[in-house]
Amino acid sequence: MTTLSPDARDRVLTGLRTQRIELPSWAFGNSGTRFKVFAQQGVPRDPWEKIADAACVHRFTGVAPKVSLHIPWDRVEDYAALAKHAVALGVLPGAINANVFQDDDYRLGSVTNPDAAVRRKAVAHLLDCVDVMDATGSRDLKLWFSDGTNYPGQDDIRARQDRLAEALSTVYERLGDGQRILLEYKLFEPAFYTMDVPDWGTAFAHCLQLGEKAQVVVDTGHHAPGTNIEFIVAFLLRAGKLGGFDFNSRFYADDDLMAGAADPFQLFRILHEVRAGGGFAESAGVAFMLDQCHNIEEKIPAQIRSVMNVQEATAKALLVDQVALAVAQEAGDVLGAHAVLMDAYNSDIRPLLAELRTEQGLDPDPVAAYARSGYRERIVAERVGGEQAGWGA
């Protein structure tokens, strides 16, 4: 085991004790690609069961007390009752994700559709989502638009920006105290020629125009290969516009694989910038969310593993000796500064995390503890009949 100085140990433990990671309800449903969705046994049939699975992840990790909901995938009659159900299981509803990408009406876009009636329908859904937030006590409205065009000339790029700005401003006006819009960008897919919010710059510009209650959310899978995501994070934090993350891993496109699986070093670099920019402070309001799909692996342990990956990268980011780093940077010591980062990244912090879990009354190995718990066997036996939730249900 790497020997850590008492100061470093304290710093890492203190930071980890307050870290919170939010889980996506949709990660517990069946998912796949357009080629095949492999159904798994014991998958939730409704939002109540998805929340139960998220609560299970929290029981074993101790750091995931919130569940993001996706509307209408998680539509229920009584959202206050759903929130109560979550609280009874030891978790809380988190961000409300608006879904304006799955109706036939949205073929040419939602809020940017050339047809005003379709735009009105989309905006009405976004406003309904704010009603849901009022009922669940959620702070964040996460907006991702699949809107865009497939062919040059298909629609007027500038007019679509105008329509987007108008819709965003209507929703912004409806936000209550303490509520905010998190605007998510994505380079491509489902639109292939232009996306209406393709990158952080576009999201940032719209958020700036809207005001303080609008911030950008960085989905780590939504960039071109080779994009320096940590630069974006540093820039947004400095501007007070980093609202949160949708963490996941990608090898090729928007793969939605487990956070920290494809490139743990990138996750470390991102979290190092979060720390450097003060983003771990509660007052910074950065939401650390996962946005993943588990197509071939078991969902609950995959969520546990993902949470642990974010925790490990956070621990390494907290381990960076910022004083030594600043000294080396000021002296123009390129190799020395780089070595400070690499020392932290190459440290094995797993024993410290095990210690932290033990201190918190948790099993030091959450994945093994889950496997032993009998939860999986119980849901497989109990969740028989009904329709399993899927990506889109």
List residues near ligand PSV by CB under 6 A.
26, 97, 144, 184, 186, 219, 246, 254, 291
Which of Mn ion, ligand PSV, none binds 254 (CB below 5-8 Å, type-dependent)?
A: ligand PSV
Q: Rank residues 140 and 219 by Cβ distance to Mn ion and give the closer one.
A: 219
Task: Determine the Cα–Cα distance for residues 115 and 119; give it in Å rounded to an integer.
Answer: 7
- The answer to whether residue 254 forms part of the interface with Mn ion (CB under 5 A) is no
CA nearest neighbour of 340 among 311, 317, 315: 317
Per-residue DSSP letters for 222-234? SS-TT--HHHHHH
Tokens of 44: 């939730």
Q: How far is the CB of 146 from ligand PSV (least distance, A)?
A: 7
147 contact choice in Mn ion, ligand PSV, none (CB below 5 to 8 Å, kind-dependent): none
Residue from the set 46, 53, 74, 219 that interacts with Mn ion by CB under 5 A: 219
User: In the complex with ligand PSV, which residue's Cβ is closer, 46 or 254?
Assistant: 254
Residue from 22, 196, 246, 256 binding Mn ion (CB under 5 A): 246
Q: Where are the beta strands (DSSP E) in 268-365?
A: 287-290
26 binds, among Mn ion, ligand PSV, none (CB under 5 to 8 A by kind): ligand PSV
The interaxial angle of helices 157-174 and 116-136, nearest 10 deg, is 30
| Total residues interacting with Mn ion, rule: CB under 5 A | 3
Query: Per DSSP, which regions of the chain are E strands?
Result: 22-24, 66-71, 92-98, 140-144, 148-149, 180-184, 194-195, 214-219, 242-247, 287-290
Shortest CB 340 distance to Mn ion, Å? 32
Query: Which residue lies nearer to Mn ion by CB, 230 or 246?
Result: 246
Q: Shortest distance, CB of residue 142 to Mn ion, whole angstroms? A: 8
Q: Does 22 bind Mn ion (CB under 5 A)?
A: no
Using CB under 5 A as the binding rule, whether residue 140 contacts Mn ion is answered as: no
The least distance separating Mn ion from the CB of residue 97, rounded to whole angstroms, comes to: 8
CA neighbor of 138 nearest in space, from 171, 169, 95, 175: 95
As measured in angstroms, the least distance from the Cβ of 86 to ligand PSV is 19
Report the residue number, 60 or 185, with the smaller CB distance to ligand PSV. 185
Helix axes 322-330, 334-345, angle to 10 degrees: 160
Three-class SS of residue 181?
Answer: strand
Binding to Mn ion by residue 196, rule CB under 5 A? Answer: no
What's the gap between Cα 273 and its chain centre? Answer: 17
Q: What is the spatial distance between Cα 345 and Cα 383, in angstroms, rounded to a whole number?
A: 42
Phi, psi of 181 (to 5 degrees): -95, 130
Smallest gap from residue 326 Cβ to ligand PSV (A):
35
Could you list the residues that contact Mn ion (CB under 5 A)? 219, 246, 291
